[in-house]
Structure 1
Amino acid sequence: MTRAPANLLEVRSLLLKHLNRDPNRVRDEDLEPAEVGIVGDSAHRGGYHCGEDRVVPNDYSVVESSRDRTGLTLDAAALDVGMFEWRDGLGRLHNLQTFSVWCVAQCVAGATDTRDIREIIYSPDGKVVRRWDRLGRRSTGDRSHLWHTHFSWFRDSIKAGRDQTPLFRRYLTTIGLLTSEDDVSDYVQHGDRNQGVYRLQYRLNRLGFSVGPKGADGIYGDATTAAVVAFEKSLDKDYKGDGRSVNAATWTRLDDARAVQLIRQHAPQPPAPSIDYAVLARALDLHGLAAAVPVPTLAAQLAASPELAWALTNELLTRLTKRLVAVEPAS
């Protein structure tokens, strides 16, 4: 049975949270739950709104890209967004048409958070229907897209569970409906199963704190709790928390730790000192530290044993220092 994947449900929830301004009643200017769909109705066959149980022979949502063929599961890989209106503090109108044009422009520009999008079928003005197709196969769609915009994602990105909210977060931020202060979607706690948990686990793993044998799976269980505790104690040995929830402060510490990790990984390393063991052996012999061993033989022994080389060099430096102190004139 075709199902709605978690990453597209996250997109749906995000849009409704901010564009359904009055969730207690149905209004034309709001984006209503019935206007944001992922899975096609029971009669729907073929296309990205269908999973593998509903695709048809030579279905374009499967056969035209290897990303779709390898990513085909029971998950749908599309989202429809309906009509809404919002005026920002400057009086500028934002609606389905401006939203769609903005999203297409991001795709055309090659924005990183659009690279999993296969197509957008939309109307720029409520009069004509256009289609942006990453594969360049089609340029239009049916007239239903005058009042809703269709997004398709390559199926492999849905199968991988990649977070698809960043593009839409950017849009909501651009029109003034979302700020870093009021976006609490990354507050996660024990028992949660969502993309926020997946992002947390990914960051912990990247810093060397294992979230369990399965790796990042989007489930905030005991292994993730233990990893959070281990991370916090690596920064503060007196940490008393239980690791069962993560808030903005924890995310900041994770980001700071990653920055430190990258600095250490990419900091220029001083070149290893080049040692001429023959010269060192002659110096040791000159100061009575060769113990009657021929200089060539001593040089070979020093090259073969860093411990011996360090011990004799340390003794040589000690003797030279004592001699310098002995001949230093009194002040």
Structure 2
Amino acid sequence: MSYAPRTLLDLRAYLKPKTGLSDNALGIVGDSQHGSGYHLGRDRLKHRLDRDYSTRTARDKAGLTDAASAFDLGNHKRLREFSVWLVAQCRANAADTRDIREVIYSPDGRTVLRWDRERGVSSAPKAGEASDSHRYHTHISWYRDSEHRDKTAVFKRFYVSATPPPAPAPKPPAAPKWPGRLLRYRKGKPQMHGADVLTWQKRMKARGWRIDADGWYGPQSAAVCLAFQTEKRLTRDGIVGPQTWAAAWTAPVTNT
């Protein structure tokens, strides 16, 4: 019974998270409609072993087993970009493409082209040699003697090197509940002191402001508060009220 070899199953496992495709869209063994070609193993080709194009070369004869030796890469965002790139790598005879026999693909979603190593490694792809179904998926065949050799390397070069989408900006931390009293400095009056002052000072210090985190709201704290309010276009009074308190945690860090 024709089977999917371990190396092609490994390729499928690698591509699933990269492309978001299901197993069915990453095909290996041909269904009942396949009567020839690399998607079938020796058992399903036995009636035409001497005629099937996938069993004629010396490399295919040497490696013929019941293993399939082809892969269909389904439609996804980068299918056409990858397919054109892959054929260019094959025509350049890149080391990780030398087991690839053919690539059938569409560069534009309209024209279907086939590149065949047997015509010469640098040969141009030709139209009119495959069905229109390949407008929506790309077919890759490997010589059958490569059954046990890794198939992922060339795919990793493309998908790993692709620029990843930018990471989402981290959300600013939620501000702790306002302590319920206005933090202010009044010259000649006793300085305010407490855990709420210390919490605000530590937060401002973490934002990069030069401030002593000692729990006392003195002239230095008032000056930092005033400068911060100016920067963030808050009411400029040097008093840490609900708005200034919340901004210490939620406003973007832009200065000090």
Give the shorter-chain TM-score range: 0.5 to 0.7
Which amino acid is 1:33 matched to?
A: D
What are the superposed Cα offsets for residues 221-266 of structure 1, whole Å, 9 maximum, x if unpaired?
A: xxxxxxxxxxxxxxxxxxxxxxxxxxxxxxxxxxxxxxxxxxxxxx
Instruction: Tell me the equivalent position of 1:147.
Output: 136
CA RMSD of aligned residues (A): 1.7
Instruction: Tell me the equivalent position of 2:114.
Output: 131
What are the superposed Cα offsets for residues 154-183 of structure 1, whole Å, 9 maximum, x if unpaired?
A: 00001xx111110000011221359xxxxx
Separation of aligned partners in 1, 2:163 and 2:40 = 34
Equivalences for residues 79-90 of structure 1 within 5 A: 79-85=71-77
Which structure 1 residue ranges, 5 or more long, are not aligned? 21-30, 86-94, 179-331
Which amino acid is 1:35 matched to?
A: A
Which amino acid is 1:169 matched to?
A: K
Instruction: Tell me the equivalent position of 2:70.
Output: 78
Which amino acid is 1:66 matched to?
A: A
Which amino acid is 1:48 matched to?
A: Y
Partner of 1:103, secondary structure, is helix
Instruction: Tell me the equivalent position of 1:172.
Output: 159
Separation of aligned partners in 2, 1:54 and 1:171 = 33
Instruction: Tell me the equivalent position of 1:48.
Output: 38
Instruction: Tell me the equivalent position of 1:96.
Output: 79
Instruction: Tell me the equivalent position of 1:4.
Output: 4
Which amino acid is 2:88 matched to?
A: A
Which amino acid is 1:170 matched to?
A: R
Instruction: Tell me the equivalent position of 2:242.
Output: none
The 8 Å contact of residues 18 and 177 in structure 1, kept in 2 or not, is answered as no
Separation of aligned partners in 1, 2:149 and 2:116 = 20
Which residue of 145, 149, 152 corresponds with 1:162?
Answer: 149
Equivalences for residues 182-221 of structure 1 within 5 A: none
The 8 Å contact of residues 3 and 74 in structure 1, kept in 2 or not, is answered as yes
Which residue of 73, 85, 92 corresponds with 1:109?
Answer: 92
What are the superposed Cα offsets for residues 28-60 of structure 1, whole Å, 9 maximum, x if unpaired?
A: xxx233211000013422100000011142000
Partner of 2:102, secondary structure, is strand
Instruction: Tell me the equivalent position of 1:15.
Output: 15
Partner of 2:16, secondary structure, is helix
Which residue of 56, 60, 63 corresponds with 2:53?
Answer: 60
What are the superposed Cα offsets for residues 110-132 of structure 1, whole Å, 9 maximum, x if unpaired?
A: 10000000000000000100001
Partner of 2:141, secondary structure, is strand
Separation of aligned partners in 1, 2:41 and 2:131 = 21
Instruction: Tell me the equivalent position of 1:35.
Output: 25
Which amino acid is 1:46 matched to?
A: S
Separation of aligned partners in 1, 2:108 and 2:134 = 11
Partner of 1:81, secondary structure, is strand
Partner of 2:72, secondary structure, is strand
Separation of aligned partners in 1, 2:118 and 2:75 = 27
The 8 Å contact of residues 3 and 39 in structure 1, kept in 2 or not, is answered as yes
* Larger helix share, 1 or 2: 1
Partner of 1:120, secondary structure, is strand
Residue 175 to residue 149, structure 1, CA distance change in 2 (3 Å)? same
Equivalences for residues 156-305 of structure 1 within 5 A: 156-158=145-147, 161-176=148-163
Regions of 4+ moved over 4 Å = none
State the identity %.
49
Separation of aligned partners in 2, 1:48 and 1:122 = 16
The 8 Å contact of residues 49 and 79 in structure 1, kept in 2 or not, is answered as yes
Separation of aligned partners in 2, 1:75 and 1:125 = 32
Partner of 1:8, secondary structure, is helix
The 8 Å contact of residues 7 and 164 in structure 1, kept in 2 or not, is answered as yes
Instruction: Tell me the equivalent position of 1:89.
Output: none
Which amino acid is 2:23 matched to?
A: P
TM-score by length of 1: 0.45
Which amino acid is 1:5 matched to?
A: P
